[in-house]
């Protein structure tokens, strides 16, 4: 009996001396027969979680604390596809995002093409509230700051972490991509993406540094809701205006001081501006077809830009390149070459597109040829 008691005490003693269990993000290693004096622990890869706590300062300047990298992420809210396209530049997004809102613009849905786990995602309704989102049991919800009061606050009140981002301007791209790098614990990847943007935009600015005369540019958003055709100009702070400025153009609507959203303009105003070049944006229609219609319109034929064959469809593929989507870098590159062809004699749009999809999403030339090129609008002559 004494032997049995001693054996039990020995087992309990050894158990108490055992080390704490290995964190879940670091694979457990079987104990070797002859363990070495010291074992070097491998650093986590880009796809592994980092277990140490960290803090994120989001777009609203809020501190959001995490004890570990979130693994059940929900991305929803307005203008969602623009946010998701940035989020999916991180390879971990497919595994960690469990629910998303409407990721499409019109009939196009880029995320469904590149996420192998898309069919397993919970697809939230566009009007999904805090309760529906909470039912997914997320450990993080990513939203645009514009919905902080209407949607974010009720979610926060349920003790669910919320991080706000924007991705509306080039400056915000730098800030928000850095935020995503911390969320996915992949700051190196964030730097790679930002370096790509900086290199591309920097190359444009270098090529245009000695330009003294900037063509006057009019960017018009075409709508035909309920059969009523309208043309609109963007606010000065929006990506569309900044694209024109970066590309070496002078936006003629700057003095009009547009409102916070798209501002409707008349044909008389368009004629008065008399821009050197006019670009038509269309999200629910094909801008190439719109341009052809306008060229045959008697009133538009009288415009100098039309007479000089300087009325263009702003290009796009699945989505238009003028928007604060990841593709804005394609839009500004194309526009710079269109406004100043003498400064970009070797400009190759297909090379640029292939490099973009390879760099941001690790998609090869075959994917671009089969999935992206058929959606081109105004990209190729």
Same fold flag, 54-202 and 212-375: yes
Q: What is the pTM of this model?
A: 0.85
CATH number of 54-202: 3.40.50.1980
**pLDDT at residue 227, as a whole number:** 87
**3-state DSSP assignment of residue 59:** coil
Separation of alpha carbons 80 and 111, rounded Å: 11
Cβ distance 284 to 201 under 8 Å? no
**pLDDT at residue 110, as a whole number:** 97
Q: Which CATH number fits domain 212-375: 3.40.50.10800, 1.10.1490.10, 3.40.50.620, 3.40.50.1980?
A: 3.40.50.1980
How is the chain split into domains, by residue range?
A: 54-202, 212-375
pLDDT tens for the 381 residues of the chain, in order: 433 333 433 333 333 333 333 333 323 323 333 333 333 333 344 444 445 799 999 999 999 999 999 999 999 998 899 999 999 999 999 999 999 998 888 889 999 999 999 999 999 998 899 999 999 999 999 999 999 999 999 999 999 999 999 999 999 999 999 999 999 999 999 999 999 999 999 999 999 999 999 999 999 999 998 889 999 999 999 999 999 999 999 999 998 877 789 999 999 999 999 999 999 999 989 999 999 999 999 999 999 999 999 999 999 999 999 999 999 999 999 999 999 999 999 999 999 999 999 999 999 999 999 999 999 999 998
**pLDDT at residue 79, as a whole number:** 83
């Amino acid at each position: 009996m004494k032997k049995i008691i001693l054996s039990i005490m020995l087992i309990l003693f050894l158990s108490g001396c055992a080390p704490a269990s290995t964190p879940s993000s670091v694979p457990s290693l079987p104990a070797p027969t002859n363990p070495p004096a010291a074992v070097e622990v491998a650093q986590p890869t880009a796809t592994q979680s980092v277990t140490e706590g960290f803090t994120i300062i989001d777009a609203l300047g809020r501190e959001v604390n995490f004890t570990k990298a979130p693994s059940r992420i929900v991305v929803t809210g307005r203008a969602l596809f623009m946010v998701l396209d940035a989020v999916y530049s991180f390879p971990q997004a497919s595994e960690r995002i469990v629910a998303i809102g409407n990721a499409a613009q019109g009939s196009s849905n880029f995320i469904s093409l590149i996420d192998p786990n898309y069919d397993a995602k919970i697809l939230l309704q566009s009007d999904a509230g805090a309760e529906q989102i909470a039912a997914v049991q997320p450990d993080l919800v990513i939203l645009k700051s514009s919905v902080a009061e209407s949607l974010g606050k009720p979610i926060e009140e349920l003790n669910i972490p919320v991080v706000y981002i924007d991705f509306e301007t080039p400056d915000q791209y730098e800030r928000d991509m850095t935020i995503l790098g911390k969320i996915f614990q992949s700051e190196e990847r964030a730097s790679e993406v930002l370096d790509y943007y900086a290199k591309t935009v920097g190359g444009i600015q270098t090529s245009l540094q000695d330009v003294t005369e900037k063509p006057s540019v009019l960017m018009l958003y075409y709508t035909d809701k309920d059969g009523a055709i309208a043309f609109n100009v963007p606010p000065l702070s929006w990506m569309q205006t900044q694209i024109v400025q970066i590309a070496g153009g002078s936006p003629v609507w700057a003095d009009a001081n547009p409102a916070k959203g798209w501002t409707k303009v008349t044909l008389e105003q368009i004629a008065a501006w008399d821009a050197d070049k006019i670009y038509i944006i269309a999200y629910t229609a094909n801008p190439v077809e719109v341009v052809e219609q306008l060229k045959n319109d008697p009133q538009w034929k009288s415009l100098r830009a039309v007479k000089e064959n300087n009325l263009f469809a702003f290009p796009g593929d699945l989505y238009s390149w003028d928007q604060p989507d990841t593709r804005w870098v394609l839009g500004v590159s194309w526009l710079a070459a269109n406004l100043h062809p003498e400064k970009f004699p070797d400009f190759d749009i297909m090379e640029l597109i292939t490099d973009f999809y390879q760099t941001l999403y690790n998609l090869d030339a075959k994917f671009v040829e089969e999935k992206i090129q058929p959606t081109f609008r105004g990209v190729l002559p």
